[in-house]
Structure 1
C-alpha cells in the first residue's frame, strides 16, 4: 500500500512474546487460524478451506492474524514448520496467544531455532490490512522506514513478577534430571508470558502432544524420555496417529504408523497411561468440579472446564508433558475464578423438534461469535442436553473459538443463573436464530443428496451410548456394500462395548473400529483412496476434514449417518427442524 502525501508510515508499540528482529512481506487476515488442520507442516500452505488465507504459503512472511484458534496441536505444527524451514519469518497478533508461542519457545529450548512474535493493540492491528511489508523489533511493529521510538505511555503495562518457591527452584537445578529442568524452564517461561504470580500443583494431566506431526514431535518426546523424564502425577494420553495394535492389518503407511507408534511409546516410557483417547472425560478418574488439572486437546479442555467444572487452561502441546514431568503449572487463565466469567451473551432461539445435530451446529456458530472470549448462552434452560450433546457442542465450539470454556444457563455447573456466569457484569449480547443454523448447515453441505463412500464417526471419540444407539438403529438392516462405516473410539470404551455385545452387533453390520487414532489423524486406506465424499455427524470433522483428507465432507445427524450407511446417500435436504 502506498502512503498518501504527508501520511506517516505505520508504527505501533508492541509487546514481544518472543524476542527478535525481522522484516518481510506481510500476510494479513482478520480471521484466527488453527495451525493443526489449517496449515500443512511440510509445505507451509494454509489448508483450511474455510479460511481467507486458504492456499497461501506462510514461509518467510510476517503473518498477522488475531491469534490462534482450535487445536492445542498448533504448537507442534509450528515447531515442525520452523525445523522444516517453512515457518513465517515473524508473527503479529492482536491478543496474547499461548499455543503458537509455546511452539516457538520449545523450538528455542530444544533446537536453538526461533522467530519473533509481537502483540499490538487491536486498533493498530486493524490498520495492518493493505500494507505490503512489515518489520518487527525494538519494541515495535512498523513499516520499513518508520522512525518510531516506542511511546512508554502507549506500551503494554508491565506484567506481575513470577515468584518461585523453593520447590520450583529445585526443579530448575542440576539436582534433577535434564528432562525435568528443561520442562521446568518451559513452564516458567510460559508462566511469565501469562503474567502468573506463582505456580500451582495440579491433580492430573492429559497430554495432546502424543499426536505425530512430523519428526520434531517424535524427537522432542524421545529426548525427554532419554533425559530421564518421568511423570510425577496421573497422566493420560490423547488419541495418536495410528491404531497402535492394528495398523498393519489396516494397511496404513508403515513409515508414518511406526513413527506414530514410537511417539506413543516414548510417552508411555515416561510413565503416561496408554489411554489414547481425545475424550478423556469418558475415562474413570475424570476430574471433579473445582479441581485444578492440566489438560490439552481443545475439545477436552472445553468439556473439562464447562461441563465438569474442573479448572484448566487450554494447554498447548508440549507444555502438557512439561507440567506432567514437574507437577507445576501457571496460576493463570481458567485456574482463576475471575477468568472463568462470561464476557459475551448469546441468546439462542431453539427451533422446535431439534435432533442431535442442533448441538454441533450451535457450538460451531457460537464459537465463531465468541472467537476469543467466554460466552454465556441463554434460551436453552430446561433443554436437558445429554453428555454426548455437550461433547458435540464443545467440539464444534472449540473448532471456531480459542476460548477455553462456555456457559449455558441452567445446564452447565457454573451457570445456574445468568448472573452467576457473568459475575454480575452487563454484557453485549448477540442472537443465534434458526436462519443462522441453516446457513451453517449449508456451509457444511453445499450440495445435497450426494453419493457417500464413507461414514466417519467418532470425532471426538464415540461414547458407549452412541455405539448403543447405532446398534439399535441398524437392527435388522443391511449396509450398502459400497459404503465404508468407520468409528474411531478409545480403548476403554471399546472394551466396554465388547463386554456388552454391542461391538459384535456393529461389526456384523459392517462397522470397522479404529482405536487410538481419531479422524484428525486417520490415514489411507482407512479413508478409502477412491472415496469422493464422506458423511460425518461431527462439526469438528466437517470443518477440518476437507483439508485433512482431500475429500468432500458432508454433515448430518447421527440418524442421517446411520441411514446413509444403508442408502448410500447424504441427506437430500436440511432436517425438518431447520426447514
Structure 2
C-alpha cells in the first residue's frame, strides 16, 4: 500500500514528511541514509551493529543509535532474526525509515516487541519522499511524521531503543474463521495464540483482509544468530508449540553430527545445535537443508505454501510454480503453528505478474558461471520488481542453472519471483505474465554490464586460493555427478581445502551413486546440515586469504561474513584451482568481447 506523502517547510532548517507507520514510536538521531536496499543477514553484524556488506555504500558504518534510512530490505529472510538480535542488545538503530514496506525487518521488530519488550519505530514514506532524505543530517520521527534537518538541531535529544512496558490489547479487523478465533482466544495453547497474533499483525500491515490455508512450511528461523534466536524457539516449546502442517527445516548453523570434529567452538556449536532440536521438538522434520525443493516433499505447481530462506522462496515460486511470499524468519514458524497465512502477494495471480522486462545481449556458448552472475546482476536492477527475462528461449538452462540463478537473484533483490520467457512454467507463454493494461518498462543488459558485476563478485586480487567453497545453496545429486566427473583421477593441492555443503538426503543418494568415493579420493570434505553463510573458522582455514566459489550468493556474502576476498568462477575452474592452488583469472568465453572483424582485402 503506497504511503501518503505531504511536504511542508517548518523553517529554512527543516522539512516534514508524512508516511505510514508500520511500528509506532517516537525517535530521533543522526540520519544514516543509503539509496540501496540492505540485507541484515550477511550485511549487518548482529553483535555490533556494523554494516559488513562489502558491496554496500554503508559498509563500515554502525547502526546503533541512528535513524537508518534505506529504500527496502533485500536478500535473506534471516534479516528479521538479525534485527531481533540487535534489539535484544544495544546495537539497533533508533528508528527505521523505508521507501517500501519491508516485512522481514518489520517482523523482527514485532517479535522483539512481543518477547523482549523492546521496539523501534518503523515508517514507510514512499519513493518520492524518500529521495528527499539525501543530504539530510538529522531526523526526528513522531508517529507518522518525519522531520528532517540539514544539521543537528539545537534541541536535539537523541533516543535509544524503546522499552515496551505493556502490550496493548489485541484486536483485528480481518475476517476470521471459527478455527482462527479458536487459535486467537488461546484455547489451542499459548504458542498458537501468540503465533496467530503475529500472523494477523503482519497480515494487516500487508493489506490482507483474510487468511488462507497452507499445505506445508519450510522454516528458516532455525539459523542461530545469537541468544535471542534460541530464546525465541525455546519459549515457543515451553508454551507447547506444535506445527499444524508438514514442516521442513532450513540449514542450521552447524553440522549437527560433526561440529566438534570440524573444530567448532562449543560456545557456538552447542546453542546452534540446540536451536535445531527446539524446532524438531515442535514437530518439524529433520531435513536441515537450504534447498527443500530437492526433497521428495517439494510442492506442486499452484500449491499454497509458507517457505522462508530466500533462495528456496524464489525457486518455489519461479521454477516449481508453487505460491509463497518471501516469508521472514519467525513468521514462518508462526504460520506453521497455525496453518494460516495472509492472502496477499504471490499467493494471488495478480501479484505474480512481471513489472520489468529484461532483454539480454547475443550470447555465445555458456558455462555454469553465467547463470549465477546473471541472477545477481538482474537482482540489482529489479529491487522489489518481478522481472521477465528475454533472450534465453533457446539456451535450455538446467534445474541447477535455475537454482544458481535464483539464489544469486534472491541475494541482490527483494523480489520473491522471476520469470524467464520460454523457460519457467508461468512464462512458457510470456504474454501471460505481463500486465495487459499497462506498459511494462524494459532494461537492456550488455556484456559490459555483466562484466561490471563479474568484477564486483571477483573481489580477490591475489591469485592464491586457500579454499574452494561449494554448495551454496546445497548441492544437488546432479551437481555431485558433475563435480565427480571433473575430479575423477585427480587430487587437490595440499595447501587447498575443498568443502561441499549439502543436505543429508542428497548426500546419501550421492554416496549410493558412487560420487562421494570419487570426491573423498580427490580430498574433498563433505558437510551436512549447515551452509556456507553460517560457516567460519576453522572450516574456513585461518591461513586462507582468498577463496573460490561458483556461487554468486556466497561470492557476495563471503567478504563480509568471513573477511576473505573471493574468486568467482565456473565449477570446472574451481576444480582446476583446487589442484593448482591458483585462480587462473580467465574470463569465460561468453563474457569476452567479440574479436573485431577485419575488412576483406580486395584485389
TM-score range, shorter chain: over 0.9
Counterpart in the other structure of 1:81: 86
Where does the alignment leave 5 or more consecutive residues of structure 2 unmatched? 1-7, 155-171, 593-603
Contact 1:225 1:266 survives alignment (8 Å): yes
TM-score, length-normalised on structure 2?
A: 0.92
**Matched ranges for 1:169-318 at <5 A:** 169-318=181-330
Q: Which residue of 2 aligns with 1:111?
A: 116
Structure 2 equivalent of residue 152 of structure 1 = none
Contact 1:162–1:195 under 8 Å retained in 2: no
Of 428-437 and 541-550, deviating more is 428-437
- Between the aligned partners of 2:429 and 2:365, the Cα distance in structure 1 is 25
Number of the residue aligned with 1:391: 403
In the alignment, is residue 499 of structure 1 matched against residue 504 of structure 2? Answer: no
Contact 2:459–2:566 (CA under 8 A) maintained in structure 1? no
After TM superposition, give the deviation of residue 161 of structure 1 in Å: 4.6
CA shift at 1:5, angstroms?
Answer: 12
- Per-residue CA deviations over 1:154-201 (Å, capped at 9, x if unaligned) read xxxxxx952112211110112121111011100010001001010010
User: How many pairs align?
Assistant: 564
Aligned mates of 2:175, 2:559 — CA distance in 1: 46
Alpha-carbon distance between aligned partners in 1 of 2:267 and 2:14, rounded to the nearest angstrom: 51
Once residues 488 and 494 of structure 2 are traced to their aligned partners in structure 1, the CA distance between those partners, rounded to angstroms, is 17
> Deviation at 1:417?
2.4
Secondary structure of 1:143's match? strand
CA deviations 1:192-223 (Å, max 9, x no partner) are: 10010100100000000000000000000001
- Give the distance between the partners of 1:164 and 1:124, measured in 2 at CA: 35
Aligned partners of 2:108 and 2:565: how far apart in 1? 31
Q: Tell me the residue number matched to 1:444.
A: 457
Say which of 379, 385, 388 aligns to 1:373.
385
Q: Secondary structure, in 3 states, of the residue corresponding to 2:323?
A: coil
Q: Is the 8 A contact 1:350 1:380 kept in 2?
A: no
Which one of 550, 568, 588 corresponds to residue 537 of structure 1?
A: 550
- Would you say the 8 A contact 2:376–2:408 is kept in 1? yes
The structure-2 alpha-carbon separation of the partners of 1:139 and 1:254, relative to structure 1 and needing over 3 Å to count, comes to same
Task: Give the alignment partner of residue 475 of structure 2, picking from 443, 462, 472.
Answer: 462
Say if 1:498 and 1:193 are closer, same or farther in 2 by CA, change over 3 A.
same
SS of 1:100's equivalent in the other structure is helix
Equivalents in 2 of 1:34, 1:293: separation in Å? 23
Gaps of 5+ in 1: 147-159
- Give the secondary-structure state (helix, strand or coil) at the position aligned to 1:514: strand
Provide TM-score, normalisation by structure 1.
0.95
**Cross-structure match for 1:149:** none
Corresponding residue SS for 1:60? coil
Could you tell me how far apart the structure 2 residues matched to 1:290 and 1:446 are?
40
The residue aligned with 1:37 is 42
Is the Cα–Cα contact under 8 Å of residues 17 and 147 in structure 2 kept in the other structure? yes
Secondary structure of 1:71 counterpart: coil
Contact 2:462 2:546 in 1 (8 A): no
Q: What is the CA distance between 1:448 and its match in structure 2?
A: 5.7
Contact 1:161–1:196 (CA under 8 A) maintained in structure 2: no
Contact 1:42 1:86 in 2 (8 A): yes
Alpha-carbon distance in 1 for matches of 2:459, 2:531: 25
Equivalent-residue separation in structure 1 for 2:10 and 2:144 (angstroms): 27
Between 505-514 and 432-441, report the one with greater CA deviation: 432-441
- Whether 1:570 aligns to 2:575 is no
Report the more deviating stretch, 304-313 or 349-358: 349-358
Describe the SS at the equivalent of 1:81: helix
> How far, CA to CA, are the matches of 2:377 and 2:371 in structure 1?
10
Supply the distance in 2 between the matched residues of 1:4 and 1:121 (Cα, whole angstroms). Answer: 19
Contact conserved, 2:31 with 2:66, CA < 8 A, in 1?
Answer: yes
CA contact (8 A) 2:427 2:433 kept: yes
Offset of residue 446 of structure 1: 4.5
| Bigger shift: residues 357-366 or 107-116 | 107-116
